[in-house]
Amino acid sequence: MIGLLGDFDLAEEAAQEAFAVAAERWPEQGTPHNPVGWLVATARNRAIDRIRRRRTLADKTRLLDMPEATVDEFEDEVIGDERLELIFTCCHPAIAPEAQIALTLRTLGGLSTDEIARAFLVSEETMKRRLTRAKTKIRATGIPFTVPADHRLPDRLDAVLSVIYLVYNEGYSGRVDLAGEAIRLGGVLAGLMPDEPEVHGLLALMFIHHARHRARFAGSELVLLKDQDRSLWDMQGIASGRQELDRAIALRGQGPYVLQAAIASVQSEEEIDWSEVAQLYSRLAVITGSPIVELNRAVAIAEAGSPREALEIVDRLDLDNYQYVHSTRAELLKRLGRREEARAAYERALELAASEPERRFLQRRIVEP
């Protein structure tokens, strides 16, 4: 509807009216043969009515010359196609990042403004304003309702993927099941862009992480991957993730999401091949240039049996205010029998730790042999 009308608010109002008419008529007259087509046609006609009603001299819109819509015009395929334009419009870089996320959830996820507000821990009023500002910007600045041209696609697709991944990561803190919503959005995108390896990579990453989420906490305590109760893992979810990963690799994907998904997949094996994990992290480090990826690589190298080499990597990192550098150093020093230095590093990590479960975890590690 948004694609058809070029107006988010009008589309929303018209769709609501169409649903109201359906709720009234369908129980009496039976469900139409093509329910989605019926809804779209009805909504479009309602939208045209609305425009006619508020028509002023300035409102000579092209829509008025259109014939009344019939159900047959709206095959499901056509509707499916326009969601891609909608994703790219909602995730346009000219829109503020937090508004991109909210707009995507509102228009593609179908979450209510109130639900989105609760997920991001802001008031419904604030979220309403944020959405209104974004919709106004789209209209006033002429953000197009199109899939970007080929030479811009890689950058723009990155922006879409990072919005979906942010939605996924917000899923842990909020009350609404945003992680599930992000996976659903990722699935829609994978269906619409089946040849883009990073799309499958992101979907694979989310599937695998999500499949393990029930094992990540025991009560409110954080559980390390190696201590997790694997019977709590959703094996079906891990299998779905691996299927997406295979797809991405078949498409010769080697971007950051594909690599992260590959790491998550190896880490979900019965016996983890840590040298393979280390190798994947070193490829990821080359692409991202991120010191945090280097830190993870060091952990994998230590797990693969070389704590001394790992410590050398950690000591090269310029991340003095990052808690996990110190906790990782502490673990490595402890394994190398340098207990005094280990203790100092734990204490430094403790100074930087923000959350209570993490502080308790570090305190336990200081006293443990």
- Interface residue list for another protein (CB under 8 A): 92, 94, 140-144, 146, 148-149, 152
Shorter beta-carbon distance to another protein: residue 152 or 230? 152
What whole-number distance in Å separates Cα of residue 338 and Cα of residue 340?
Answer: 6
Residue 2 C-beta: closest distance to another protein, Å? 15
Shorter beta-carbon distance to another protein: residue 32 or 148? 148
Shorter beta-carbon distance to another protein: residue 61 or 169? 61
Helix axes 323-335, 307-316, angle to 10 degrees: 150
Residue 202 C-beta: closest distance to another protein, Å? 24
Torsion of CA 169, 170, 171, 177, to 10 degrees: -140
Beta carbons of 366 and 346 less than 8 angstroms apart:
yes
Shorter beta-carbon distance to another protein: residue 92 or 247? 92
Rg (CA), the chain: 25
What whole-number distance in Å separates Cα of residue 211 and Cα of residue 189?
Answer: 20
Shorter beta-carbon distance to another protein: residue 123 or 146? 146
Residue 146 C-beta: closest distance to another protein, Å? 8
Three-state DSSP at 217 gives: strand
Shorter beta-carbon distance to another protein: residue 146 or 173? 146
Residue 92 C-beta: closest distance to another protein, Å? 8
Residue 191 C-beta: closest distance to another protein, Å? 24
Q: What residues have CB less than 8 Å from 356, skipping those under 6 apart? A: none
Number of continuous H segments (helices) and E segments (strands) in the chain: 18, 2
| Greatest distance between any 2 Cα atoms in the chain | 83
What whole-number distance in Å separates Cα of residue 107 and Cα of residue 167?
Answer: 14
For residue 50, the number of C-alpha atoms closer than 13 Å in the C-beta half-sphere is 18
Residue 3 C-beta: closest distance to another protein, Å? 14
Residue 57 C-beta: closest distance to another protein, Å? 14
Residue 140 C-beta: closest distance to another protein, Å? 6
What whole-number distance in Å separates Cα of residue 314 and Cα of residue 349?
Answer: 14
What whole-number distance in Å separates Cα of residue 231 and Cα of residue 236?
Answer: 12
Shorter beta-carbon distance to another protein: residue 97 or 194? 97
Torsion of CA 153, 159, 164, 169, to 10 degrees: 150
Partners of residue 218 on adjacent β-strands = 221
Shorter beta-carbon distance to another protein: residue 147 or 278? 147
